[in-house]
Amino acid sequence: MLFGRDPRKKALLELAMKQVEKVLKEMVDDGKNLEKLKFKKYQKTHYTNCICTKCLKAKRNKNPHQRGLLEDGYKVYVDVEDEEQGG
């Protein structure tokens, strides 16, 4: 297992997996076809007009990837092209 040596990280991973499983079950209950399920990683950073130290450093270095990280997560997409064409 990826986090086998650290029990806190393992517990967090298990909690996250339960949440993902719950969301997927809700999607199935809503009638979504999960055969073409896609996950996309995203990172949300501070706005460009932020003046925190990380954002000022990013502006100085002209590197927007150095701005402060607010969120890190995944978006879930279900491809519905076949359903639209078939209907």
> pLDDT by residue for the chain (87 residues), tens digit each?
455 678 888 888 899 889 989 988 998 898 888 888 888 888 788 887 888 888 899 889 998 888 888 777 777 777 765 544 443
**pLDDT (0 to 100) of residue 21:** 92
Angle at Cα 67 formed by Cα 41 and Cα 45, nearest 5°? Answer: 40
Q: Where are the domains of the chain?
A: 1-32
Q: What is the pLDDT of residue 87?
A: 39
Angle value at C-alpha 82, between 78 and 85, nearest 5 degrees: 135
C-alpha span between 41 and 39 (Å, rounded)? 7
Report yes or no on whether pTM surpasses 0.75: no
pLDDT at 29: 92
